Amino acid sequence: MSEDKRYKIVNQDLQQFLSLVKGYTFTLEQLYKQFNYTTREAKNNCWHVLEYLVKKGELEKIATGKYRHFDSTLEEIDWRNANVEDIVKVNLPLSLDRYVKIYHKSINIIAGAPGAGKTAFLYDFLLRNMNMNDYPLILFTNDMTAEEIKERMLNAEIEIPNPSPFKVYDRADNFADVVEPDAINVIDYLDLNSEVYLIGDEIEKIYRKLKRGIAWIGIQKKPGQEIGQGGVFSIKRAKLYLSLDQMKENEQWIHKLIILKARGRVIPSVNPRQLQVRFKLVDGIKFVNVRITGTTVGLYDV
């Protein structure tokens, strides 16, 4: 086979590859493995094709051996014909739906220290909305057994139909591969072990997967800190961001929730940011002695 023909074959391989990775970053090593380029000639042809595409302006060279394919596609937003009342009408734990509203295609984060009530919040949300007919309900859990889940549900003392109106799946990572675009997806919880800097990337992938649906995502945080793992990268894409802690007050342990970010406001002129809710948690799922404080509370007849 002539050298020119071998170059054309590599060029065809790469053109097919690039048609599938618009906007993504990749490396030469990934291409070598993908197409089994083991000879010096094949690797050299691969490099020359990429460098030619960089000169043409079709690729961006980020670093030595690292490239990004430009994605110039745009989807126009028809904002004039949008219906501002078209939101996801859900019941939120702790009466938060009196202060915030949930949009379609929204990421909603609850960051909680261990034992602060993160799982309780997500399970309570699930049970409050299990009779919704508009959206399928899905729970993804990464550390709860079937027995633990059932015990929590029984402790809520709420009658759950049989068959259950929601699905529960064991899942620990790559949630963007399995979330349903038009469903209410509850993720308890997002944990990337030591690679917490990747949390923002995973949240972004989940957001891109959504259409009419939403995602509630639990993440871990250190006690006393407001923002969870991933730092500002975990809060960037969120429409609603809640922070949960456990603290001692008047010689008793209580739980405290703070709204750190709220894009959807029930009253547009009133920002519920920094509104605080204190409560006790019973049986791992029931909220009692709820007290709400904040500058906006008087407007809602709490």
Tell me the per-residue pLDDT of 172-230, one tens digit each, with 9 for 90 and over: 888 999 999 999 999 998 887 656 667 888 899 999 999 999 999 999 988 888 888 88
Same domain (yes/no): 146, 283? yes
Same domain (yes/no): 245, 152? yes
Residue 265 is encoded by which pair of tokens?
Answer: 């406001």
| DSSP single-letter state for residue 178 | T
Q: Report the CATH number that the domain containing residue 273 is assigned in CATH.
A: 3.40.50.300
What is the reported pLDDT for 301? 41
Same domain (yes/no): 132, 62? no
Same domain (yes/no): 285, 211? yes
The structure's pTM equals 0.78
Is 225 within the bounds of a domain?
yes
DSSP E strands in 64-220: the ranges are 66-69, 106-112, 137-141, 166-170, 184-190, 214-220
Q: Report the CATH number that the domain containing residue 39 is assigned in CATH.
A: 1.10.10.10
Total domain count for the chain? 2
Same domain (yes/no): 138, 43? no
Same domain (yes/no): 52, 149? no
Is 77 within the bounds of a domain?
no
Same domain (yes/no): 98, 15? no
User: Residue 42 belongs to what domain range?
Assistant: 3-69
Same domain (yes/no): 64, 121? no
Q: For strands 137-141 and 166-170, give the pairing.
A: parallel
Same domain (yes/no): 147, 37? no
Between residues 69 and 258, which one has the greater pLDDT? Answer: 258
Same domain (yes/no): 39, 101? no
Between residues 302 and 128, which one has the greater pLDDT? Answer: 128
d(CA 263, CA 266): 10
Whether 179 contacts 146, CB under 8 Å: no
